[in-house]
Structure 1
């Protein structure tokens, strides 16, 4: 058994009923980027935070393309629960590939976008939630540690590109 599966199995040793419920609910916030899309909409609606909302939207779009359209089908890594079939999942089985973690990528992209947009308090709150979401993916046995790490890298890249694209577009259109 590989070191990544050993690490996931080690995490299984800390499982409790409370953590099962907590991690299942935390991971649901990241399903299809729900919490980050909701935050984007809220930021877009408020005139004072509209530019941050545009940056966040751009980061999430870049993340969607990099993670779900390009990398997951290209790498086509099967999930850990398909390798270690003795594990009982407590959430519905994801149907896509494992690498990179889309939950982690969208979450990190959001943190980076919020940080670069200058949302001083919001990015810190998002970072805490992101750590829980990323860990939940391993706790729930649906991602390997390198899937989460890869998702974090994709998220950083997506957040940065989303920020840069938004800045460039606002300069060319004359909108601040």
Structure 2
């Protein structure tokens, strides 16, 4: 049963990647997608936004929350989940691919670019609701670029979206006023 589910996931992943290659790929996107994916390298676009916010005193806390969320999402995805799942990247499955970027050396699941992008975009969207479509749009383009460039499967990207949003929600729960005091009280009562 489990192997059957994994085979169906693999078929879905390969179908989507081949469809992107067949119906979406073109010379213009071949130039654009490496630039889009570079925006997500090390969360650079989100770090730049966070630094700009930190430098503007009224928004300093928001910028700090973005940085904290990026740290937590990186630890969760790159530091933990990737090393548990150890999924090979699609670009490493096919030798005849004409790569538009360097082949990444880390594991594939989940997409770290997607995870950090959706984590940061979610935090920024909570504070700046009027720009939510812009933040989510940037995160979506970065996620799409990872599949277009054949360095992630669709399920890697889906997992990145889910984990990114969960990381941002976790940070918000922890940062809620009184949360840490409630945790301390809980442990005092059981000890």
TM-score (norm. length: structure 1): 0.90
Instruction: Tell me which of 83, 88, 105 is aligned to 1:95.
Output: 105
Where does the alignment leave 5 or more consecutive residues of structure 1 unmatched?
A: none
The size of the alignment, in residue pairs, is 171
Check conservation: 1:58, 1:163, Cα contact below 8 A.
no
- Structure 1 residue 10: deviation in Å? 1.1
1:158 match: 167
Query: Partners in 2 of 1:161 and 1:171 — Cα distance?
Result: 13
Larger Rg: 2
Task: Confirm or deny that 1:82 pairs with 2:92.
Answer: yes
- Structure 1 residue 71: deviation in Å? 0.4
Cα pair distance change 1:39/1:119, threshold 3 Å: same
- Structure 1 residue 86: deviation in Å? 2.3
Instruction: Tell me which of 42, 57, 68 is aligned to 2:67.
Output: 57
Q: Secondary structure at the match of 1:12?
A: helix
- Structure 1 residue 170: deviation in Å? 9.6
Check conservation: 2:125, 2:135, Cα contact below 8 A.
no
Query: Partners in 2 of 1:123 and 1:170 — Cα distance?
Result: 26
- Structure 1 residue 49: deviation in Å? 1.1
Where does the alignment leave 5 or more consecutive residues of structure 2 unmatched?
A: 1-9, 182-191
In terms of fraction of residues, the more helix-rich structure is 2
Instruction: Tell me which of 13, 16, 19 is aligned to 1:10.
Output: 19
Could you list the structure 1 runs, at least 4 aligned residues long, displaced by more than 4 angstroms after superposition. Answer: 168-172
CA RMSD of aligned residues (A): 1.8
Check conservation: 2:123, 2:168, Cα contact below 8 A.
yes
1:28 match: 38
- Of 28-37 and 13-22, more deviation after overlay is shown by 13-22
Query: Partners in 1 of 2:61 and 2:106 — Cα distance?
Result: 32
Query: Partners in 2 of 1:30 and 1:169 — Cα distance?
Result: 34
Cα pair distance change 1:96/1:66, threshold 3 Å: same
